[in-house]
A and B are shown apart, each in its own frame.
Chain A
Amino acid sequence: MTGSTSQLRIVVVGNGMVGHHFVEQMVQQSVACDITVLSSEGRLAYDRVHLSSYFTGSSAEDLALTTEQTYQDWGVNFVTNAMVSNIDREGKTVSANGVTYPYDVLVLATGSYPFVPPIPGNDQDHCLVYRTIEDLEAIESSARQSKVGVVVGGGLLGLEAANALKQAGLETHVVEFAPQLMAVQLDPAGGDLLRGKIEDLGVQVHTQKATQSIEAGESCRYRMVFADGTFLETDLILFSAGIRPSDALARQHELAVGERGGIVVDNHCVTSDPSIYAIGECALWENRIFGLVAPGYTMARVAATTISGGDLAFTGADMSTKLKLMGVEVGSIGDAHGRTPGALAFTYHNQAKGIYKKLVVDAAQKKVIGAVLVGDTSDYDTLLQYSLNDIALPEYPESLILPSAGEAPSLGADALPDTATICSCHNVAKIDIVGAIDAGCCSLGDVKSSTKASTGCGGCAALLKNVVDRELEKRGVEVSKALCEHFNHTRQELYHIVKVEGIRSFDELLEGHGEGLGCDICKPVVGSILASVWNDYVLDPKHLPLQDTNDTYLGNMQKDGTYSIVPRIAGGEITPQKLIVLGQVAEKYNLYTKITGGQRIDLFGARVDQLPDIWQELVDAGFETGHAYAKAVRTVKSCVGSTWCRYGVQDSVGKAIDIENRYKGLRAPHKLKFAVSGCTRECAEAQSKDIGVIATENGWNLYVCGNGGMKPRHADLFATDLDSETLIRYIDRILMFYVKTADRLQRTSVWMDNLEGGLEYLKSVVIDDALGLGAELEAQMQHVVDAYQCEWKTTLESEQSRKRFRQFVNTQGTDSNIQFVTEREQIRPATEAEKRSGEARIPVEIV
């Protein structure tokens, strides 16, 4: 066999999602190893979680998680259709298809198989299961010769499978033994509501049915006879009644297995044989099988780390889930059934809207221990945080699930437990920050240098500042509100100074109100203020040095110094012709393409010197900048709305495009995201946006100050049934008031929470014009709207501006450190190791 004796020989049996993840993790470890993968399937790993998308057009290639080429590039040996016949634990070899593979470490990632209940007649041609792509092919071919399909099992997978049958055009039934659907995750009331919703979608549900036999049918191929004497005729039967660990190999070779199956592993995923590991659904940890992919991935990491000599333990996994089943939102957290002794429940049931929420708290009413959400899972993230971190409940726990008819309690710095992770890049918890302050750090900068918090992606900067400020205040330290060492003012104060004194440049402001040279904190802040107040071209020579590199080069810098390009696609609406242009440009410049969350297309891997040429082609084709690089209004996401949708009540796309075109490029203290939904089903997820608009029969409901990201927050209902003119007037006023008064990098949600009086105060300012600012705010917004220009178009028109994009001031040429390799048929930045080994290639420009 291949591999020298100095390398660790690892044989992996199974190449499902978890087995593949293990290989991926192992390749990244710095241990020299020789990996052989034995897969019983005909293809390498693919995405089983999204199997049902196979019926909506995804191909096996789309579902693939890797390619044979990638494994070859990694130097991983693999054998498909490999049937492992023997493990020689003494001699440490594995035999498959007549070949013997020696190992130092054997990893079993054999997964699970679908459980088929022992019903007479269950082995007929059109009795199928739902696990592999081959299963799907069998279902597809059977469905072509069938009119009616039945899924046996009303659990999570069963409903997924029912969706697949429905997609295939069959009259679909679900037969469940228990009295309700999803009995593991939901309580009876939640299960009932889910049943109603699924029946509304045309799937017939039969609960409390025990199938006794499968016989020949009269109107259909088969007849399922139930214990209660009733029957159901169908052409196709799909069993989805749970999974069983594939532990046959382990049993055969006398590894310890659980009473009800599963290969017993310890905290490091080691089986009863120290040279053999088991991970994923075949592994039994503390008498539990974990049938979700995330815990499987964790096990893969644990095994790879342990094998490489590192220290990582598997400590169980949270099995909370949030998903959409046939468009119905379902969430389940922790002890959903309230089985913990003394558990108390709060429920909210809105039959009219089809929403059910149950909050389960402990006997002392101190913490969240479980929850059930059907029809609306917007509270899921918050509830999960409460449950995972044992955060103390608010005074009225029910406020966590009731529709926000006022102030929804938000989590402030003090509410976070000591163990809450603040910076996930460097794994810094709140207690580490408190410790650093106790040890003498007395500023945000000190805390950052000492703990490294917020020095990775920087996404936690605002949260970190909150925690530090709060901790310093508690210790009686007067927290300076100064922006940085150069200005002894807040952003809001600087905004007023700029406005009142008519200041038009950074130097002018620094001279009159600051000291030193400025820095990367105050310069972009002042740049943003100048842009919001005057809306000058951001690359005007006097503003240029103020901008972050993203603003300077009008692109998003990536880790290798290249940029990504996001043209504006207002409302997510794009013509086929423009899509073709994007494809052609990406192909010509060899850019990696990815769809963004804001319904746009991101083109990655452009060198700074390529940006003007690329944008010239985009501008010529009618595109304009998307401001993805700026703290500005980004996108207005929309659902398709009443134009096409059966349920839509207003033209949400048209409204989204109007709104996006009005506010595009508005500079703000933080990026802003909007959305417009065409009906109350809320497909555009407007309630997770800074500005969310939802169509009603009578007009538009306006939601404000929501956000996704690190600390998701649900938007608050601001006003209902607005006509278009009032809607725009309110948005004008809200945005301008935010731009004028918010702190640096302060999101709309935090800004509003910090306004004294919060939402009610904001309403009084905007709706009742309590400050008499309304007309002024609108006029300022109109000025900004009128002064809009596409920054790329302006840049391309000036030879001087184009010069900025040269890589070198003294010679032609490009940065030789930018190198790419191919992954999933597209480029990605080469790793340092790949660059050293010369595997990477420098991009070749096609002229």
Chain B
Amino acid sequence: MQVKVDYVPEWHDVCAESDLVPNSGVCALIEEQQIALFAVKLEGEQKVFAISNWDPIGKANVMYRGILGSVKGDPVVASPLYKEHYSLTSGQCVEREDASVMVFDIKLENGRVWVAV
């Protein structure tokens, strides 16, 4: 019999919305984890995304310094080291099936940025 333990992420108040840079990234340290936060203008609306800052191929904490864009409509960030694209919605690497980054829930509330870790 398997015992399933559900890990329930906790919401953290990370920073002010104004700390985010439009169409670019910043990095936050939450529970000893480096998390890249992005603000993207999608169809006229400001959307925020949070993924792990660790580049699984380049093996360095650099994802927040990548260029944002879209591949076939899906918002992506390009690793600044070797330029692989990662989906901001699923964390999947576009070029390599075996690579992905963790994706975290993120929300804006009263001018603050909250991330679930």
Q: Which residues of A contact B (CB under 8 A)?
A: 448-449, 455-456, 458, 485-486, 516-520, 522-524, 541, 544-549, 552-553, 557, 559-561, 608, 804, 806-811, 813, 815, 817-818, 832
Contact = CB atoms under 8 A, between A and B. Distances in A.
A810 B15 contact: yes
Contacts of A817: 60-61
A806 B70 CA distance: 26
A805 B96 CA distance: 30
Contact of B15 (A486, A522, A809): A809
A524 B67 CA distance: 9
B42 A517 contact: yes
Given A557-B81, A810-B28, A548 B67 contact: yes
Interface string B100-111: 000000000000
Given A448-B95, A561-B60, 20 more contacts: A449-B95, A485-B71, A486-B70, A517-B40, A519-B78, A520-B67, A520-B69, A520-B78, A520-B83, A541-B22, A544-B24, A545-B67, A546-B67, A547-B67, A552-B24, A557-B65, A559-B81, A561-B58, A804-B21, A813-B29
Nearest to B30: A810
B67 A561 contact: no
B4 interface: no
Interface in B41-84: 41-42, 58-62, 65-73, 75-76, 78, 80-84
B69 A523 contact: yes
A556 to B, nearest CB: 11
B26 interface: yes
B interface residue count range (under 10 / 10 to 19 / 20 to 34 / 35 or more): 35 or more
Contact of B61 (A522, A546, A547, A561): A561
Contacts of B34: 808, 815
A456 B83 CA distance: 9
Contact of B70 (A518, A808, A809): A518
Contacts of A517: 40-42, 68-70, 75
A518 B15 CA distance: 27
A561 B30 CA distance: 20
Given A519-B78, A559-B58, A810 B73 contact: no
Interface string B1-24: 000000000000011000111111
Contact of B37 (A486, A809, A811): A809
Secondary structure at chain A's binding surface: helix, strand, loop or mixed?
A: loop
A561 B37 CA distance: 17
Contact of A544 (B21, B37, B76, B82): B21
A552 B96 CA distance: 26
A197 to B, nearest CB: 47
Nearest 8 A-B pairs (CB), nearest first?
Answer: A519-B69, A520-B78, A549-B80, A545-B23, A517-B70, A561-B60, A520-B67, A549-B65
B67 A523 contact: yes
**Most B CB within 10 A of own CB, among A449, A522, A561, A804:** A561
A455 B95 contact: yes
A455 B82 contact: yes
Nearest to B70: A517
29 contacts: A449-B96, A455-B95, A485-B72, A516-B69, A518-B69, A519-B67, A519-B71, A519-B78, A545-B23, A545-B67, A549-B62, A549-B80, A552-B24, A557-B62, A557-B65, A557-B80, A557-B81, A559-B60, A561-B60, A561-B65, A806-B26, A808-B27, A808-B29, A808-B34, A809-B37, A810-B30, A815-B61, A818-B61, A832-B59
B90 to A, nearest CB: 16
A456 B59 CA distance: 14
Contacts of A455: 82-84, 95
Given A520-B67, A520-B69, A832-B59, A456 B82 contact: yes
Given A559-B60, A561-B60, A809 B27 contact: yes
Nearest to A458: B83
A486 B72 CA distance: 9
Contacts of B69: 486, 516-520, 522-523
Contacts of B22: 541, 545
A151 B14 CA distance: 74
Contacts of A546: 67
Contact of B60 (A552, A560, A808): A560
Contacts of A559: 58, 60, 81
A471 B107 CA distance: 48
A695 B85 CA distance: 48
Nearest to B12: A810
Contacts of B23: 545
Contact of A545 (B61, B68, B71, B81): B68
Nearest to A562: B60
Contacts of A524: 67
A520 B62 contact: no
A811 to B, nearest CB: 5
**Most A CB within 10 A of own CB, among B23, B40, B78:** B23
A56 B26 CA distance: 51
A290 to B, nearest CB: 36
A810 B29 contact: yes
A516 B69 CA distance: 8
A809 B30 CA distance: 10
B100 to A, nearest CB: 15
A809 B26 contact: yes
B109 to A, nearest CB: 16
Contacts of A807: 27
B95 A545 contact: no
A843 B54 CA distance: 20
B112 to A, nearest CB: 11
Contacts of B42: 517
A809 B78 contact: no
A552 B82 contact: no
**Most B CB within 10 A of own CB, among A455, A520, A541:** A520
Contacts of B96: 449
A485 to B, nearest CB: 7
A544 B42 CA distance: 18
Contacts of A516: 69-70, 73
B105 to A, nearest CB: 17
Contacts of A832: 59
B18 to A, nearest CB: 11
A447 to B, nearest CB: 12
Contacts of B76: 519
Contacts of A552: 24, 65
Contacts of B85: 519-520
B66 A520 contact: yes
A521 to B, nearest CB: 8
A542 to B, nearest CB: 9
B29 A811 contact: yes
A547 B84 CA distance: 16
Given A516-B70, A523-B69, A545 B24 contact: yes
A809 B19 contact: yes
Nearest to A817: B61
A811 B29 CA distance: 7
B53 to A, nearest CB: 9
Contacts of B72: 485
Contacts of B71: 485, 519
B70 to A, nearest CB: 4
A552 B59 CA distance: 21
A561 B40 CA distance: 23
Contacts of A557: 62, 65, 80-81
A608 to B, nearest CB: 8
B14 A809 contact: yes
